[in-house]
Amino acid sequence: MVKDDRMTAMATQQELENLRRVFVTMDANSDGRISERELALVLANLEYKPRRGEIADMIWEVDEDCDGHVSWAEFELMYMRCKADQAGLEPRKLFNVVEFMMYDKDGSAKVSFEDCMEILYRRHGKEALEERTNAFFSADLARDNEVSFAEFQEQMFTMALNRLNARQSSGKTPRAGAQPRRRA
Ligand SMILES: [Ca+2]
Ligand SMILES: [Ca+2]
Ligand SMILES: [Ca+2]
């Protein structure tokens, strides 16, 4: 399978189905939108303890129609934006949760080799599979062959820092005053 760079920024049908699976999981009462309460349950399941106001923040960052909930349209838009975002300026709190849940196919709150193999194969192709798998499991600091959400977040944070450093050393610093996208 030849990897097409133009395709990596876009979601394939399978990726969309996986995204939909995560949305349906998060929407515990199946009313088509994710509430603060539902997101709190998801985070508790991932053993993540949000700071005061953090859950409201995660929703507010992507809540285009300001109804205090995340609809499927808002969820999908958030995912596409973050995938396409090279500069790292999009808010990524909810995205990181969603990415983790997409990897965690069996919903065990830990990502095993079996969980992430298919998604890494689809995204990076056969040739890069071993390298990408090793890179993914470099997050496994506890060495239990599973990646927890805390480990995953730590890795996302390091990657964001690396991107920033790479940009600075290449001289391509963001314009002065560039801030992550937030509504006033
Ligand atoms: Ca709901
Ligand atoms: Ca909304
Ligand atoms: Ca799992």
Find the domain containing 114 and state its range. Answer: 12-169
Nearest listed ligand to the Cα of residue 72: 2
Token pair 């998604």: residue: 119
Q: Is residue 133 part of a domain?
A: yes
pLDDT of residue 1: 43
pLDDT of 161 over the 90 cut: no
Count up the domains in the chain and report the number.
1
Reported pTM: 0.83
Q: Is residue 181 part of a domain?
A: no
In this structure, the strands spanning 110-111 and 70-71 are: unpaired
CA atoms of 46 and 151, how far apart (whole Å): 11
By the 8 A CB rule, do 114 and 121 touch?
no
State mean pLDDT over 113-139: 92
Q: Is residue 109 part of a domain?
A: yes
Q: Is residue 180 part of a domain?
A: no
State pLDDT tens for residues 127-159. Answer: 999 999 999 999 999 999 999 999 999 998 888
Task: For residue 31, give the CATH number of its domain.
Answer: 1.10.238.10
Q: Is residue 93 part of a domain?
A: yes
Ligand 3 center to 146 CA (angstroms): 8
Ligand 2 center to 64 CA (angstroms): 6
